[in-house]
Amino acid sequence: MGLTECRQKGIGILLHYETVKIIDIKNKKVGALYRFIQLIIISYVIGYVIVYKKGYQEFDVAISTVTTKLKGTTYVDFGKFNSTLFNGIRIYDPSDYVIPPQETDAVFVMTNMILTPKQSQSNCPEDSKFKDIHCKKDSDCPKMVPVKNGNGVRTGKCVSSDRNSSMTVCEIYGWCPTEVDQLPMPNNNFSDTVPLLDGTKYSTMLVKNQISFPKFRAIRNNIIQFNDSTYLKRCHYNSDTDPLCPIFNLEDIVSSCGDNYTDVAYQGAIYGIIIEWDCNLDHSIDECLPKYQFKRLDDVNSPISPGYNFRYADYYVEEDTRYRVLTKAYGIKFELLVHGKAGKFNVIPLLTNLGAGMALLGIATVWCDFIVMYLLKKRNVYREHKYQRVDDDSQDPKGNVQVDDDENELESDRPEAERLIKP
């Protein structure tokens, strides 16, 4: 194939135009399928996209702020605990069991604890639960080497364990005495099923949430104005009777997730308070109301460190010696999750969705063409009438455009009976 011939063929491939040829096919089955597909597409566009998904609106996502306030008092009977700081009955209010006092979009309520009072930096035997500190002689305890995951650094001495007199362990320098990481705390009459601060189940939480939609310059909060001015002072949230009350009982939150507060509070957990805002600003802003949902977020069956806990320390000085009370706090963390969306009519998304729907109508033509050209018995006849090539460069002496008769004939050259294709 010569260069000129290749060039002409390449130009012929690039510089050509295809147009749709309309063929009226009198086939009731194909016609019914064509209208059925069109009906499905129109129903989808109007019913689902435009009406259900509000395709006639533009949307904005909420910017949210959340604050909380807890109320409720409980107590712990420490009995004859080995510390003058924790002895007898001690009252706990939100200043004691809400840690830290303020947290971004969350609140932690301590429900159980392990206390290690009056720790000071000194020498003491390491906790015998660490296997790499078991020793028989001083050389087994290299000096100033930290204990992996332990409580201090080795002093170089091998001493008797203060937890098990038949065992010798490495002595450490650190905060002493070391923590006894065990629930309930040993040597006390504490329950192994009921948390120390089980009374927090009766505490209440006020949730204040304000959202704004900058695109629409709309602001809304979950403190609804009621006709009864005393309603907010006495209401408690209930999904059936008081769905708009922003005051929640902690036990109700846990039980709504199918859990028992006492069981969960023993080792702690994490729950989500989900606030949903779905606002239609084509209506009054007063109809934009929150919906509350509750969900447990932590893994109930976690194989390691189940529940939720952390440690913190309170420091004080006595006779020029610095001491601390180490607390391992178990409790329930409430995460406040806000999802907000608002919509308002706008002609641009409406026209965009309608245009997309009109384009989808082409699917009906594609499917019916496929059936006609490849599945029906007379597919060869239909294909012959569907495709026709006109070569503009081939003209007769009078200047008439020539049609490739090897593939198709012009519709005007066919008998009238053949121009109306019937099955």
Annotated binding site: 69-71, 204, 309-311, 328
CA dihedral 252, 97, 298, 248 (to 10 degrees): 20
> Do residues 156 and 138 touch, judged by C-beta distance below 8 A?
yes
Known binding residues for ATP are: 69-71, 204, 309-311, 328
Q: Exposure of 95 by Cβ count < 10 A (0-12 exposed, 13-18 middle, 19+ buried)?
A: exposed
Q: Say what angle helices 362-374 and 347-360 make with each other, to 10 degrees.
A: 0
CA distance readout (Å), 63 to 66, 122, 273, 280: 11, 51, 17, 16
Helix intervals (H) in 173-279: 231-234, 250-255, 261-267
Burial letters 207-223, b for 16+ CB under 10 A, else e: bebbbbbeebebebebe
Calpha distance 140→264 (Å, rounded): 43
What one-letter code names the amino acid at 143?
A: K
């053949």: which residue's tokens? 418
Calpha distance 386→21 (Å, rounded): 7
Beta bridge partners of 123: 173
Polymer length in residues for the chain: 423
Q: In terms of Cα–Cα distance, which of 372, 402, 374, 409 is closest to 388?
A: 409
The 3 state secondary structure assigned to 148-180 is: CCCCEEEEEEEEECCCCCCCEEEEEEEEECCCC
Burial letters 174-191, b for 16+ CB under 10 A, else e: bbbbbbeeebbbeeeebe
Calpha distance 76→87 (Å, rounded): 9
Provide φ and ψ at 89, rounded to 5°. Answer: -85, 130
The DSSP output letter for 136 is S
